[in-house]
Amino acid sequence: MSESAMLSQSQQWQASMAASGDSRGVRGRPQLSDYLYFIVLSLGVAYCLTAYTDFMDGYEKVILCGAVPLLVWMGWLWRPLRTLTVLSGLTAILAIWLYSNDGSLLSGDLTRADSVFLLRYLFSSQSAILWMCALFMIAMVCYWIGYVSKTAAWLGTALTWGGVYAGTVGMFVRWREGHLLGPGLGHIPVSNLYEVFVMFALITALFYLYYERRYATRSLGGFVLMVINASVIFLLWYSFARDAHQIQPLVPALKSWWMKIHVPANFIGYGTFALAAMVGFAYLIKENGQTRSWSKLWPVFVLGMLLCAEPMIFGSRSEFSVTWMLFFGISALIVGAILALRGPISRQLPDLEVLDDIMYRAIAIGFAFFTIATILGALWAADAWGTYWQWDPKETWALIVWLNYAAWLHMRLMKGMRGTIGAYWALGGLLITSFAFLGVNMFLSGLHSYGEL
């Protein structure tokens, strides 16, 4: 399908939505609520700059101020993001207040996490993140039940939003908890595998929720929540087997303001690449939904098995292998069930053109942010080690990931690649991305070894 045809289809979709009174995906002019949102964020930043100025350097203050117009712009593009920001911010403030012995937001005692009911069971960082994990798992089940019950599908969306809210609160509160450990120990929670797995789950879920609303479909939820819950399972294992949820002081290499922008940009790329892979999986199910023969499905099955087995292959330690052998078995059963039930599933999935469009948009956004992250990483390396590039294993695999998606976009934009090839490529790209994300930390030592398991 040509770009002009795709554009025409998108315009027809927006016109039909507008005719039905649904404004999803239609930005329009800023409303009064947008200006109120800007005022609320500005007041919050002003308070932080006044109350916590001793905890921030100049770069952090610039980043904090720059977040206001960025969040306002994003809230204008997608209004549900404003609700998430305000609710999670207010909840985090409540949690910070609960940590205080004297009612002040400037002091706190971490031991109160075990004695204050709301902190112990809801709003401490660990409690909130555990709620995130539980909500995402239940949401995935609801999305799959949603193929036979619209109510369950709606509940899947609500629970996914709940998981995003809980995880966002957990990250905000964890940031504050780090500062309560002692002077100079606090840092933005993007410094280790535990924290970035939380961020990966949140980013992937948020992008999915955006596309779910934009394209008015919930049938992709079960697919995307599978990759989110794979990260959730790792997060739970990593937390309980390695006690990784404990906040640790930063190693010297991470004591840089570059980390605060490099890591989030990197994981926007990882999250959207993962989302595109699962949409690619859905595309192949849709395309082969009425095919009775399995001869065309064996590549899908092989790729699915490789993705399920990848964590087990990574695991060289006995405790890790046992956990991920079980993960492989359950995941293989799920993939097999999806392939076996491809007929009824495919009938409820969006059109192939819509799936192809979502896959393209996700990869395009991910590639843009991954490019920015790579450039920022090179600048960080020059600042920390005196050179922009040293062919460190993490750098090398980041380049491989970048080249893979650069080639995907080139083939689409220059050669007109569409459909099946792009879907297989996106699904296979997740293998490369996950090795760069996790496998390098496990197998290859280097300058980034501070993130190894």
Among candidate residues 265, 217, 258, 227, the one with its CA nearest the CA of residue 13: 217
Positive or negative torsion for Cα 189, 191, 193, 196: positive
> For residues 100 and 113, what is the distance between their CA atoms, to the nearest angstrom?
11
| 199 belongs to a structural domain | no
pLDDT of residue 295: 65
The tokens for 19 are: 């005719």
Alpha-carbon distance of 304 to 40, in angstroms, equals 46
Q: Which residues contact 225 (CB under 8 A, 6 or more apart)?
A: 136, 139, 140, 143, 156, 160, 205, 208
37 and 131, same domain (yes or no): no
What 3-state DSSP class applies to 153? helix
Indicate whether 157 and 270 sit together in one domain.
no
* Residue 14 placed within a domain: no
Rg for the chain, CA atoms, rounded? 22
Q: Is residue 10 part of a domain?
A: no
Give pLDDT, residue 447: 55
The helix/strand/coil state of 51 is: helix
In a shared domain, residues 183 and 45: no
Q: What Å distances lie between residue 451 and 88, 208, 442, 447, CA to CA?
A: 28, 27, 9, 10
279 with 329, same domain: the answer is yes
Q: By percentage, how much of the chain surpasses pLDDT 70?
A: 87
Q: 292 and 170 in one domain?
A: no
pLDDT for residue 193: 87
Residue 7's pLDDT is what? Answer: 44
Cα separation, 440 vs 193, whole angstroms: 12
> What's residue 329's pLDDT?
81
The reply to whether 335 and 288 lie within a common domain is: yes
Residues 171 and 243 both lie in one domain: no
Judge whether 436 and 398 are in contact, CB under 8 Å. yes
Burial of 138 (0-12, 13-18, 19+ CB in 10 A): middle
Q: Give residue 207's pLDDT.
A: 97
Cα 80 → chain centroid: 17
What span, in angstroms and rounded, lies between the C-alpha atoms of 136 and 157?
Answer: 10
**Can you give the pTM of this predicted structure?**
0.90
| CA–CA distance, 424 with 429 (Å, rounded to integer) | 8
pLDDT of res. 222: 95
Given a contact cutoff of 8 angstroms between Cβ atoms, the answer to whether 113 and 95 are in contact is no
Amino acid at 368: A
Residues 382 and 427 in one domain: yes
Does 67 share its domain with 99? Answer: no
> Is residue 107 included in any domain, yes or no?
yes
Q: Is residue 4 part of a domain?
A: no
Phi and psi of 328, rounded to 5°?
-60, -45
**In 3D, which of 420, 418, 407, 432 has the Cα closest to residue 300?**
420
Contacts of 212 (CB under 8 A, 6+ apart): 157, 218, 220, 221
Tokens representing 173 are 């509160």
Q: Is residue 108 part of a domain?
A: yes
Contacts of 115 (CB under 8 A, 6+ apart): none
Give yes or no for a contact between 384 and 338, defined as CB atoms under 8 angstroms apart: no
Nearest to 124 by CA among 82, 90, 168, 169: 169
Alpha carbon distances (Å) from 103 to 46, 53, 122, 177, 283: 20, 20, 19, 16, 54
Per-residue pLDDT tens digits of the chain, which is 453 residues long: 444 444 444 455 455 444 433 444 456 678 888 899 999 999 999 988 888 887 777 877 888 899 999 999 999 989 999 999 999 999 999 999 999 988 778 888 899 999 999 999 999 999 999 999 999 999 999 999 999 999 999 999 999 999 999 999 999 999 999 888 887 778 889 888 899 999 999 999 999 999 999 999 999 999 999 999 999 988 998 888 778 888 888 877 777 778 888 899 999 999 999 999 999 999 999 998 877 766 667 777 777 777 766 665 555 454 556 777 777 788 888 888 998 899 999 999 999 999 999 999 999 999 999 999 999 988 888 887 778 888 888 888 999 999 999 999 999 999 888 888 999 999 999 989 988 887 776 665 555 555 555
Residues 296 and 398 in one domain: yes
Structural domain that includes position 178: 90-189
